[in-house]
Amino acid sequence: MDSQIRTRILVISDTHGGKVSYNHLGHFDVAVHSGDLTEGSYLAEFEQAIKTLKSIQAPLKLVIAGNHDFTLDTAIFKKKLASAIPPLGEADTAVKKQYGLFGEARALFESESAKAAGIRFLDEGVHDFVLKNGAKLSVFASPYTPGVDEWAFQYNPQAGHRWEIPKVDLAITHGPPQGVFDLAESRKRIGCPLLFAAIAKAQPKAHLFGHVHAGWGAKRVVWQEHLEQEPSHWSAINNDESVLIASLRNLRESKFDTPAGVEEKQERVRKLMQVGYCTAEVSSRTETARETVFVNAAVRGPSEHLQVPWCVELDLSKS
């Protein structure tokens, strides 16, 4: 077995252009932003997102787009301009000022200043890194989510998406897999079943995502020993051995809580606010382990005062 290096990853998602700094949280080996950097895809929001990323004490910061970040999806950006009444072009003064030219938002993440801060913008696919702590990290990244409206990086849920996820350490997607922290405020599950099947087959050490604001939380999933040809969240998870790490449900007080239950939640929240992030540990494991830690790191949502970043701790092979 290779030498293992304990690695700490700060995970955030769905900042939506908010002015926030994470410098006070201390040092991490890697930071991850799982998309929706902006609310309206304005250049000023992307600039703020980069400021937020720069505030994180980590030598490597991995970033993907989300459905709100439509100027990073040139085809959708063009479609939105064409559908305006009257139709607009990228050279329109107001468009240029607020959204920039085609490719201008992306260029912010590829500037020398961003690169010097360790920011790396990831397109869909597999990416490999050698970390400052001496570990090697393999990542599958994808901004795609199911949808039929004119948001960025979407695919028709009826047609599906081709999820080609190999054996990697981390999967970073904007949207959740079906059945895992994907329950929207409408009480409807909006995760992708094909993504779940691909994750179940690849079984990365951790799957990091956001998109569903009400789904903030983390869970250590143990997979069934034998999977169906098309695994689903109903059949692929060993629920007896899987463990919920935290969710909004076990932090928010409800009218059904006993006095002792309320006190327990208040103490849990107090400790969380003191630290500033919630920790999800990926247990030390061999190559035959059947575990994945799922993390919905949306920091905006119905209880955003509780929706702190996540720190994922895991062992990685030495480079």
- The per-residue pLDDT of the chain, averaged, comes to 94
Q: Answer for the pair 261, 173: CB distance below 8 angstroms, yes or no.
A: no
Q: Residue 77 is encoded by which pair of tokens?
A: 């950006």
Least confident of 67-81, 172-186, 197-211, 220-234: 220-234
**Residues 6 or more apart from 181 whose CB is under 8 A from it?**
191, 209, 212, 215, 216, 217, 219, 247, 294, 296
- Domain limits of the chain? 4-247+277-317
* Residue 17 DSSP class: T
**Residues 6 or more apart from 267 whose CB is under 8 A from it?**
none
Q: How far apart are CA 233 and CA 48, in angstroms?
A: 37
pLDDT in tens, 96-120: 999 999 999 999 999 999 999 999 9
pLDDT in tens, 133-165: 999 999 999 999 999 888 999 999 999 999 999
pLDDT at 232 (0 to 100): 87
pLDDT at 287 over 80: no
Q: How far apart are CA 205 and CA 32, in angstroms?
A: 15
Q: Where are the beta strands (DSSP E) in 150-271?
A: 154-155, 170-173, 206-209, 217-222, 243-247
Q: Residue 115 is encoded by which pair of tokens?
A: 């690169």
* Topology annotation, domain 4-247+277-317: Purple Acid Phosphatase; chain A, domain 2 (3.60.21)
Q: What is the CA radius of gyration of the chain?
A: 20
Q: How far apart are CA 205 and CA 180, in angstroms?
A: 15
Classified as helix, coil or strand, 9 is strand
% the chain with pLDDT above 90: 81
Q: What is the mean pLDDT of residues 171-187?
A: 95
Note the helical H segments in the chain: 43-55, 74-83, 93-98, 104-109, 112-116, 193-202, 259-275
pLDDT in tens, 252-282: 988 888 999 999 999 999 999 999 999 999 9
The strand pairing partners of 217, in sequence order, are 247, 296
Q: Residue 207 is encoded by which pair of tokens?
A: 């799957």
Q: Residue 165 is encoded by which pair of tokens?
A: 């996820």
